[in-house]
Chain A
Amino acid sequence: MSGRMELVCPAGTPATLRAAVQAGADAVYCGFRDETNARNFPGLNFSPQEMAEGIRFAHDHGAKVLVAINTFAHAGAVDPWRKAADIAAGAGADAIIAADIAVLDHMASAHPGTRLHLSVQAAAATPEAIGFYAKTFGVRRVVLPRVLSVQEIAALNRAIDVETEAFVFGGLCVMTEGRCHLSSYASGRSPNLNGVCSPPEMVSYDEDAGGTAARLAGFTIDRYKPGQPTGYPTLCKGRFKAGDKAGHLFEDPVSLNAGSMIVALRSAGVTALKIEGRQRGKGYVTEVVRAFKRAVEAAERGFDPTAIDSILASLSEGGRQTTGAYRKTWR
């Protein structure tokens, strides 16, 4: 792998976009304020005008903007997705991040000059799948599913001729993204269709003699003793019972920090490192982007992973972190 690794940073608002660019992001990813993007949360995202302004600001400061139109278009109403793609391309977006074949197909025919990135929501994890998207729609970069080990990523990069982008920090889906209906099973609202998971309007914290039950649409996702701090009931991070065991059956409430894997990911041929967190504020984004910028530069200069880890140590927020699937412990 030659050339510098690109740092791709989240922006949920125009202010966060500016903060990420000023903190040293090589590229910022963001979406429109509707169901066309996978972080459709209240108070977040961009109007078409804000998007155009954000792209101008980023370009003036030497950064790129990647626009996520990465949910699946609704039946009988595909046009809003096509229109979002048209607006983003027209505003000079450096790439569109898409998962739905309907959106990819539209981009390939209507905007062949605009770079196309395959969203993690497309869950393309084999040379055959990635090759199909590259050949059929001209996809230039694949955001890798967060279920691959570094060894698997290296093998994949040897077998494909498009760029890869890997998540290194932030929230971690333990299920293969784009292939998870847990949220809609409980709540009726889904990541694929609505851009939301475990939606806040369906969350309740119910007190009883045993303490507090954190529930999603009536299903108890976790329980806390009186006085114990409660967490957000994200479905796959809850505690459940199976067989004679109770606990975090799917995943502990941890977040991803693959800072120590930057050197390995670089050797595995990864082009870009992605930070999750479009729902985060500008203070957080600034801090994380600055730290990762230093970490990437240290990796380029040949620092060892321990030194890089210490640059990122301040980011743990006291929460537990994992390197996810990268270290192969899932296998």
Chain B
Amino acid sequence: MPQIGLTLGPLFFHWPAERLRDFYNRIADEAPVDRVHIGEVVCGKRMPFSDPVWPEIIGRLESGGKEVVLSTLAAPTTVRERRSIEEFCADERLVEINDVTALPARGGRPFVIGPLVNVYNEATARFLIRHGATTICPPVEVSLKTTGTIAAACPETVFEVFAFGRLPLALSGRCYHARLHGLHKDSCQFTCEQDPDGLAVDTLDDQPFLAINGIQTLSAQVHAVLTEPADLAALGIGRLRLSPHGCDMVEVARTYRALLDGRQDPEGARVALTRLGLPGDLVDGYARGQAGSRPVVHA
């Protein structure tokens, strides 16, 4: 059985440049992930802050033996944002497409399809593979079984599953951080920087529910796919994606690597994760074909 790979997905949140540098340096040196996505996905207005540090981070990650993937914006609007997608797509490294805007720019060279692009069936997957998709991470609401159905029809491509983190649930033209603070998107004062895991949204009855991150809405709960590696392999799933958060991501990666290597069982992995000060309780309903908010069942 080939080893199931671990991917560190793109960071959704607005972290200061210094924190980005420290975070990815540690990932480069210590995290047992073989692939790392870098780049701003959520908000083009954040790019002037992070763009200057990516070259150094890419260098560190690559000298640490990681394969670097350049993630592109999910909801480009301005000319500058569209140009940044073109520039990323011209790179020789692997690129993650998060909006169809990037597809023509990539011109058939290899790419990753991220979970913000709608791949719900094998016909769409096959079309994208013909155009250069070498890894496909389906939308988060797609179950493991359904991913298996798609993967079975596309044996030449690696299927990756969003396996750890607050779930990216929605995008909007409106910035909710700005709206909450009574500001306009164009003069937002980057209030999203105050919330390194997004800002928790509770119901009026104090149920943790969602989290806002600029134009993005995530789940408050932390999605965790803790499935035996043999079961993942049987479904044709070749990679798990871990989404960066403020908790100890090196420890998260170690936990998943131990699970995938058979050194840790799912229940042990679940307990290990809950000790890491996660921003929400663990859920995995989507993986099981149910409402995404369904909690992880204890063994």
- Chain A residues with a Cβ under 8 A of chain B: 72-78, 99-102, 105-106, 122, 124-129, 131-133, 135, 145-148, 152, 174-176, 178-182, 184-188, 190, 192-193, 213, 217-223, 236, 238-243, 245-246, 249-251, 325, 329-331
Contacts and interface: CB of A to CB of B under 8 A. Distances in A.
Contacts, number: 204
B61 interface: no
Contact of B291 (A126, A145, A188): A188
A178 B118 contact: yes
Contact of B139 (A181, A221, A250): A181
A86 B200 CA distance: 46
A174 B172 contact: yes
B100 A129 contact: yes
A220 B185 contact: no
B180 A102 contact: no
A242 B199 contact: yes
B105 interface: yes
Given A125-B75, A240-B204, A188 B290 contact: yes
A324 to B, nearest CB: 9
B170 A182 contact: yes
29 contacts: A73-B123, A76-B122, A77-B121, A78-B121, A78-B122, A100-B121, A126-B77, A128-B100, A128-B104, A146-B173, A175-B217, A180-B170, A181-B141, A181-B167, A184-B291, A185-B141, A185-B169, A185-B210, A185-B286, A185-B291, A192-B118, A218-B207, A221-B203, A241-B202, A241-B204, A246-B204, A249-B180, A250-B174, A250-B176
B207 A219 contact: yes
A180 B292 CA distance: 13
Interface of B: 74-77, 82, 85, 99-105, 116, 118, 120-124, 127-128, 139-142, 146-147, 149-150, 167, 169-174, 176, 179-180, 184-186, 199-207, 209-210, 212, 217, 219, 285-286, 290-293
Given A192-B120, A249-B180, A240 B209 contact: yes
A130 B105 CA distance: 13
B173 A325 contact: yes
A239 B117 CA distance: 29
A217 to B, nearest CB: 6
B207 A220 contact: yes
Given A78-B121, A124-B100, A331 B291 contact: no
Contacts of B184: 329, 331
B295 to A, nearest CB: 12
A185 B293 contact: yes
Given A145-B173, A176-B75, A220-B205, A102 B101 contact: no
Given A126-B77, A249-B180, A223 B202 contact: no
A223 B99 CA distance: 37
Nearest to A239: B204
